[in-house]
Structure 1
Amino acid sequence: MSALDRTSTVAVVGAGTMGQGIAQVALLAGHRVLLHDAAPGRAQAAAEAVAGRLDRLVAKGRLGAGDLKDAVARLVPAEGTADLAGASLVVEAVVEDLAAKQALFAELEAVVGDGCLLATNTSSLPVTAVAGTLRLPGRLVGLHFFNPAPLLPLVEVVAGAATSAEAVATAYDTAAAWGKTPVRCTDTPGFVVNRIARPFYAEALRVYEERAADPATVDAVLRESGGFAMGPFELMDLIGQDVNEAVTRSVWEAFFHDPKFTPSLAQRRLVESGRLGRKSGRGWFGYPQGSQGGARPGRGGVQKPEFPPHTAAPAVAPTSVVLRGDLGPARALPGLLRESGIEVRETAADGPGALLLPGGVPLRLADGHPMPAPGVRFDLALDYRTATRVAVAPCDGVHADAVEQAVGLFQALGKDVSVVGEVPGLIVARTVAMLADLAADAVARQVASARDIDTAMRRGVSYPLGPLEWCERISATYVRDLLEALHRDSPTGRYAPCRELRRRADAEGGVVSS
């Protein structure tokens, strides 16, 4: 293991929120920490703020009084970069500006020893470019913490084009020694999380733009059916619409306007109107003055929802249905229906599986294809037993009785039901498929290993499963076929499945890729 010894000094440059958080993490790991900021007096004020947060940890019983005293003694404000000469690691957390970072590291290189590891906390700039002007670019590595750094476990360890294997190993092992969950990745736009997470927002915005569902309903479906901790619209409001849109635009431009990363016009208009989310008091949702910061639209507290998620009125469930063929990722449903007292008769059939409602109307899992009339689609769920909401979409012309039967069927399983517009892939299915596609492509391009990608998405943004774990659970064949159907419906390249996903699907079917 090549982690820095606890006796090594760590310097943090940039005393804002992120810099303070990184300093706190290094302090609690036992290091002496030098905290520097170019603004006069800011380092001292930041050191006092860190000490105050540690004091609150003592009050909560999460840190001993003796540990607090030792930590505060090891935290030293540094007024100039010359004071950082003895550091073994310098972590930069200054403004996201390439020229500013290059100038800082050039200044640091003239001060610290050749054995000092240099790290940038950039979330959007190329690590290769940050190191491009250094005399020893091999010692600069990306060390991307997530905010708030003391609480969120993930750290992306990013290797630039010139970064040495030794620098990556030291950064990785040090982050692990600090109690973090590090993942290795190459220097690619968005690294792992900000690259692969784009469809979580983009597909929700697309469903909204196609007027298939409102933001509150999309959020509820992805939380309560997909198992995500937050819905995309409330998460965009929390991050800040301007910040979220800027990251999307940055990744899109870095990939030379690849349609898979195309920004949303609806979000652009929101930013232009100044509706930036919680920080401005209004984004997709309203945040009245005095509302609880953690209140969720539609969930209790002092903040009441302006537009609650669409939830269907109680409906009568059919007493029996016919199972025709295999329901694929929804094959647990017949057993759940039997448990609820609904008779399920089976009949063999080729082609897509379906539950035949009384009258013969098919109820099918979303697979990217338009629903042939008459018919009703239902959305993918992380776990149909534990999901508390399911989205259904009737095709044009289907009789209202069939829609009510479909609603009643899922209500009999204890689910809330959201009736949404019939868009190919519905909400959860198309989102998960796109996440899996970008993750598979990143593996093929050696951005990161499959294990690190899944770890990053679970630990960095609290996904219920890593995208590749999810793909394996529902089958790469289902994901590929869904995306191919979406691509035929919208042939822009946005939904074209990547080569690696097609290879995985072929392997499931015993097909040898050419």
Structure 2
Amino acid sequence: MPATHRPEATSPDLVIGIVGCGVMGRGIAQIAALAGATVWLNDTRAEAAHAARDTLANTFGMLVEKGKLQRDAADSAIGRLHAGADLKELAGCHLVIEAIIERLDAKKELFRTLEDIVGPDAILATNTSSLSVTSIAAGLKRPQQVVGFHFFNPVPLMKIVEAIGGLMTSPEVVDYMLALGRHWGHAAVRAKDTPGFIVNHAGRGFGTEGMRILAEDITDIPTLDRILRDGPGFKLGPCELMDLTGLDVSHPVMESIYQQYYEEPRFRPQPLTRQMLDAGAIGRKVGHGFYRYSADGKKEVPAEPAPSSALPPSVWLSQARPELAARIAPFLQAAGVTVESGDTPSSEALCLVTPLGDDATRCCAAQGLDPRRTVAVETLFDLTRRRVAMTTPATDAAYADMARGLLGADGAAVSLVRDSTGIVSQRVVAHIINIAAEIAQQGIAEPADIDRAVTLGLGYPRGPLAWGDELSAGTVLTILNNLLQETGDPRYRPSLWLRRRAELGLSLLHREI
């Protein structure tokens, strides 16, 4: 019999159905049952639903063995799990969450069937990661009861869920899902029904800009990943991350969001990942992606170039941006090399410049320096473990080696890259911050929720808007303006949200009235 009344989200009387018993469905069932809900597992194959229940029982048992769950709580949760293959068994559910194949037609057909089975108060929630909630609800009898409830894999560990209202979704339904997500132990954030919602939208900057750097032949794959791990502090570089996720998953998402935004340049993918996908080089799961993997899954990484012991006769440090020069001056002094103090360098000095969204060539030309002796240095991010030196197209190999020796004299790793607007880390981080600012500008989510969702959903070292405050909105704006001017690519046009706050001296987390 259909349920006639939906209890509070925290009520032990709540009965939910989960359609689709794969990894995501099982994860959602796990946190729901542990939080006190009765859960009906449903799959087109009855054996799959029963296998999912058995898997969850084993999971609860392991949690008990590790001391993370009491035995009586595990037994109680197992007792609340039911399995079947007939959708009619979900008639008494107050909420049904689908975690089936990511196909619009399949989800629409499922919900059309379900709304004739469940009660008029029942909520139909989709765990879609990239499809429109509005499109899924279109043509249903009760589109106001359809909502997005997007978890991340693995559900029990990724403590974030997005609650997404379609154009016809009742605000009360979204509020209910937010309360439910919090009751299940997750940070629950409200998002508009837009391509990628918050997390997958915000995540477009990291991978696509990394691929753009490779496309420009600025550096190689291992160096790109090392720079972004050791400087800004990402847990994985973009190539490592795509290998872990698998290009069969990540590339279609890149293409989908790019196309759904009518080819917005900020989300433009690169041909490389499409070629790799076509070739079957999709990552760790097949033993070959950006890296090769041994049979036990260990990544094979080429060794870094040996450190340089060469030192310049003297070094001249540009004061065009004194606040940036001050960040590397101590390393130069500690190396014991003469640091020139004149307005212009001597004829043999290594010339160091500090770009901010521009490249070594532009810095060199603007200051009248000898390009054969000029090297740029990244200054914005952590300099304790790794330093990044960038040559001009004319830099002499001997001076590049001197720069490596000088910057690594205290034992820090040094990566040498070719000339690039925004070096590596500046352009990647500024792009991430700019996309987050645009998410705020479009009202997709509140600024604080954007940062919360990104840190929990993507594992970034900081929320992008807080990161923009740390660097200063003015600095990020300068990087983007220089990238836009140098490349002419609208990909780098600054968000108005960012520009206005930079000009007014406001935090990027400032919430407007």
Once the two structures are superposed, the pairs formed by residues 39-78 of structure 1 within 5 Å of their partners are: 39-78=45-84
Q: Work out whether residues 311 and 419 of structure 1, in 8 Å CA contact, stay in contact via their aligned partners in 2.
A: no
Structure-2 residue corresponding to 1:135: 141
Give 1:491 deviation, angstroms: 1.7
State TM-score, norm by structure 1: 0.89
Label 1:18 to 1:411 Cα distance change in 2 as closer, same or farther (>3 A): same
Distance 2:76 2:150 in 1: 27
Q: Could you tell me how far 1:308 is from its partner in structure 2?
A: 3.5
CA positional deviation for 1:329: 6.0
Question: Which whole-Å CA distance do the structure 2 matches of 1:355 and 1:194 have between them?
Answer: 48
Task: Quote the residue 1:460 is aligned against.
Answer: 457
What is the CA–CA distance in structure 2 between the aligned matches of 1:211 and 1:356, rounded to whole Å?
32
Where structure 2 has 5 or more consecutive residues not aligned to the other structure, the ranges are 1-6, 365-369, 507-513
Counterparts of 1:43 and 1:357, CA distance in 2: 76
Q: Which amino acid aligns with 1:270?
A: M
> Residue 94 in 1 paired to residue 93 in 2?
no
1:135-169 deviations in Å (ceiling 9; x for gaps): 22122211110011111111111121111211111
1:110-125 equivalent positions in 2, closer than 5 A: 110-125=116-131
Summarize the alignment of residues 104-503 of structure 1 with structure 2, pairs less than 5 Å apart. 104-289=110-295, 291-292=296-297, 295=298, 297=299, 304-305=300-301, 307-310=302-305, 312-316=307-311, 324=319, 326-328=321-323, 331-334=326-329, 359=349, 361-369=351-359, 370-372=362-364, 373-374=370-371, 375-384=374-383, 387-503=384-500
Change in 2 beyond 3 A, CA 1:450/1:460: same
Distance 2:210 2:285 in 1: 21
In the alignment, structure 1 segments of 5+ residues that lack a partner are 298-303, 510-514
Q: 1:311 to 1:92 in 2, by over 3 A?
A: farther
Distance change in 2, residues 1:138/1:312 (3 Å): farther
2:24–2:99: 8 Å Cα contact kept in structure 1?
A: yes
Instruction: Pick closer, same or farther for the CA change 1:242–1:85 going to 2, 3 Å.
Output: same
Equivalent residue letter for 2:376:
R
1:359-405, Cα deviation, whole Å (9 max, x unpaired): 26133144224442532222255433xx4112211112234454344
Query: Contact (CA 8 Å) 1:434, 1:495: kept in 2 or not?
Result: yes
Name the counterpart of 1:300: none
3-state DSSP of counterpart to 1:245? helix
RMSD between superposed Cα atoms in Å: 2.7
Alignment partner, residue 301 of structure 1: none
**8 Å CA contact 1:223, 1:229 repeated in 2:** yes
How far does residue 254 in structure 1 lie from its aligned partner after superposition?
A: 0.2
More displaced, 309-318 or 187-196?
A: 309-318
* Count of matched residue positions in the alignment of Structure 1 and Structure 2: 492
Tell me if structure 1 keeps the 8 A contact 2:317–2:353.
Answer: no
Q: Deviations along 1:287-339, whole A, 9 cap, x unmatched?
A: 122x24xx4x4xxxxxx42x334564344488876572544467544456667
Cα distance change on mapping 1:165 and 1:315 into 2, 3 Å? farther
Q: Which residue identity is paired with 1:361?
A: C
CA shift at 1:489, angstroms? 2.6
Distance (whole Å) between structure 1 residues aligned to residue 232 and residue 272 of structure 2 = 23
Q: Distance in 1 between matches of 2:197 and 2:435?
A: 12
Comparing 216-225 and 318-327, the one that deviates more: 318-327
Amino acid at match of 2:101: V
Instruction: Give distance in 1, aligned partners of 2:313 and 2:38.
Output: 68
The one-letter amino acid of 1:83's match is E
Distance 1:380 1:248, change over 3 A: farther
- Partners of 2:150 and 2:213 lie apart in 1 by 31
- CA shift in 2, pair 1:489/1:324, >3 Å: closer
Using the aligned pairs only, state the percent identity.
35
CA distance in 2, matches of 1:380, 1:134: 55
Shift of 1:356: 10
What corresponds to 1:10 in structure 2?
Answer: 16
Contact map agreement 2:315 2:352 (CA 8 A) in 1? no
The Cα shift of 1:26 comes to 0.6
Are the equivalent residues in 2 in contact too, given 1:324–1:355 (CA < 8 A)?
Answer: no
